[in-house]
Amino acid sequence: MTDTALIVIDVQNDFCPGGALAVAGGDLIVPGITALMADAGAVVLTQDWHPGDHSSFASQHAGRAPMEQIDMPYGPQVLWPDHCVQGRDGAEFHPDLNTSRADMILRKGFRRDIDSYSAFFENDQTTPTGLDGYLRSRGIGKLVFCGLATDFCVAWSALDAAKLGFDVSVRLDLCRAIDMGGSLDAALGRMKDMGIALQRG
């Protein structure tokens, strides 16, 4: 269907077992994503792409540890282990992800002072990435999301897409979550409240 895009969020080495911010079972979703690509009108891959001194890294904040939360000028921010550093192996896509099927590869989180969970807006929820315009100019109105992690980059992207007026579904069976401090349940609740179709197959 030419009006439907598959948006594959951050299926990168650092979010897979053995990576710096490994999500349990992150690698297991790759074959199912490959199968979904066959029917998609368009395929967009996103890539978390941070400078080595990114402000979301706990290593940049004296006395702070990964998974703590701090207040940034744009709002609360979880501090992460160093991950998806530009040009390093951890930032590469999982080797089995079919990158040649991608119409577009969108990199995000490349500004030192601001994180970008969502594929549409950075974490100030204002600065656009350009993806909205790309999809609209291609006449795409329906989006199917999958990838990593359910409760962060997938949820924030899907929620922004719904706010922007796209018809949104999330293939939960082709996502995996970080799930810290109730983050998965909270994200699922927010997506449900926004009318996003949560599918398990």
CB of 163 to ligand VGL, least distance (A): 18
For ligand VGL, which is the closer residue by CB, 15 or 120? 15
Residue nearest to Zn ion (CB): 48
Q: For 153, phi and psi rounded to 5 degrees?
A: -65, -35
For ligand VGL, which is the closer residue by CB, 5 or 184? 184
Check if 163 is active-site: no
Give me 53's structure tokens.
Answer: 């001194």
Q: Rule CB under 6 A: which residues touch ligand VGL?
A: 10, 15, 48, 80, 117, 148-149, 152-153
What amino acid is encoded at 75 in this protein? G
Check if 153 is active-site: yes
For ligand VGL, which is the closer residue by CB, 116 or 169? 116
CB of 78 to Zn ion, least distance (A): 10
CB of 3 to ligand VGL, least distance (A): 26
For ligand VGL, which is the closer residue by CB, 15 or 166? 15
DSSP line for the chain: -TTEEEEEE--BGGGSTTSTT--TTGGGGHHHHHHHHTT-SEEEEEEE-B-TT-TTBGGGSTT--TT-EEEETTEEEE-B-S-SBTTSGGGSBPTTS-GGG-SEEEEE--STT----SSSB-TTS-SB-SHHHHHHHTT--EEEEEEE-IIIIIHHHHHHHHHTT-EEEEEEEEEE----TTHHHHHHHHHHHTT-EEE--
By a kind-dependent CB cut-off of 5 to 8 A, residue 10 interacts, out of Zn ion, ligand VGL, none, with: ligand VGL
Check if 108 is active-site: yes
By a kind-dependent CB cut-off of 5 to 8 A, residue 148 interacts, out of Zn ion, ligand VGL, none, with: ligand VGL
Q: Does 48 bind Zn ion (CB under 5 A)?
A: yes
Q: Which of 27, 153, 160, 175 is catalytic?
A: 153
Count the Cβ atoms, other than its own, within 10 Å of residue 104.
16
Interface with Zn ion (CB under 5 A): 48
Point out the residues that are catalytic.
10, 108, 153
